[in-house]
Chain A
Amino acid sequence: MDTVEAPGAVPQARFDPRGLVELDETVPRIAEIDGERASFDAHQLTTRQINLELRRLVYGEGVREVTVRNPGAKHSLGVGILQRCKITFEGSLGYFACGLIDGPEVHITGRVGWSSCENMMSGVCVIDSNAGSLTAAALRGGDVVVRGQVGARTGIDQKGGTIIALGDAGSMTGFMMQRGRQIICGNAGHGLGDSMYDGTIYVGGKVASLGIDCVPGEWTDADTEFVMRKFGIYGLGAAPELQKFVCGKKLYNYDSLEPSERKLVL
Chain B
Amino acid sequence: MCGIAGIIYRDKDPLPANGAHRLGADMTRMLQSMKHRGPDSTGYALYHRPSTDLIMRIKLGDGGGNGDIEYADRLRRRRREVEARLRAAGARVESIEDINEYTIAAALDYDGELKHLADYVESVPGAEVLSAGSALEIIKDLGDAQTVGAAYKLDNYVGTHGIGHVRMATESDVDISNAHPYWAYPFSDVAVVHNGQLTNYHQWRRRLERLGHRFASDCDSEIIAVYLAQKMSEGATLEESMRRSLDDLDGVFTYICVSDDALGMAKDELAAKPLVLYEGDDMVVLASEEMAIRAVIDHEIETYDPYESQVMVWTR
List A residues at the B interface (Cβ < 8 Å).
72-75, 91-92, 94-95, 110-111, 113-114, 129-130, 132-133, 148-149, 151-153, 168, 170-172, 189-190
Contacts and interface: CB of A to CB of B under 8 A. Distances in A.
Interface in B152-208: none
B276 interface: yes
Contacts, number: 65
16 contacts: A72-B294, A73-B290, A73-B293, A91-B300, A92-B294, A94-B291, A111-B303, A113-B290, A114-B274, A130-B305, A132-B305, A133-B274, A152-B271, A170-B307, A171-B271, A190-B308
Interface of B: 269-271, 274, 276, 289-291, 293-294, 300, 302-305, 307-308
Contacts of A72: 291, 294
Contact of A133 (B293, B294, B305): B305
A113 B3 CA distance: 15
Q: 6 tightest CB-CB pairs across the interface, nearest first?
A: A73-B290, A152-B271, A130-B304, A73-B291, A171-B308, A151-B305
Contact of A149 (B269, B304, B308): B304
A190 B271 CA distance: 11
Contacts of A111: 290, 302-304
A133 B275 CA distance: 10
A111 B294 CA distance: 12
Contact of B270 (A91, A113, A171): A171
Nearest to B289: A94
A171 B310 CA distance: 12
Nearest to A152: B271
Given A72-B294, A92-B290, A152 B304 contact: no
A74 B34 CA distance: 11
A130 B271 contact: no
Interface of B: prevailing SS: loop
A28 to B, nearest CB: 20
Contact of B289 (A110, A113, A130, A168): A113
Contacts of B293: 73
Contacts of A151: 271, 305, 307
B299 to A, nearest CB: 11
Interface of A: prevailing SS: loop
A154 to B, nearest CB: 11
A130 B269 contact: no
A218 B290 CA distance: 41
Given A94-B289, A113-B289, A171-B308, A132 B274 contact: yes
For A94, A129, A152, the residue with the greatest tally of chain B CB atoms inside 10 Å of its CB is A152
A225 B115 CA distance: 68
Contacts of B303: 92, 111, 129-130
Nearest to B271: A152
Nearest to A72: B294
Contacts of A129: 302-303
A43 to B, nearest CB: 10
A202 to B, nearest CB: 20
A73 B276 CA distance: 11
Contacts of B302: 111, 129-130
Nearest to A151: B305
A129 B293 CA distance: 16
A152 B274 contact: no
A74 B308 CA distance: 24
B290 A171 contact: no
A21 to B, nearest CB: 25
A157 to B, nearest CB: 16
Contacts of B305: 130, 132-133, 151, 170
A246 B289 CA distance: 34
Given A133-B271, A171-B271, 19 more contacts: A72-B291, A73-B291, A73-B293, A75-B291, A92-B294, A92-B303, A94-B290, A95-B289, A110-B300, A113-B289, A113-B290, A129-B303, A133-B274, A151-B271, A168-B307, A170-B308, A171-B269, A189-B308, A190-B308
Nearest to A170: B307
Contacts of A113: 274, 276, 289-290
A171 B304 contact: no
Nearest to B304: A130
A111 to B, nearest CB: 6
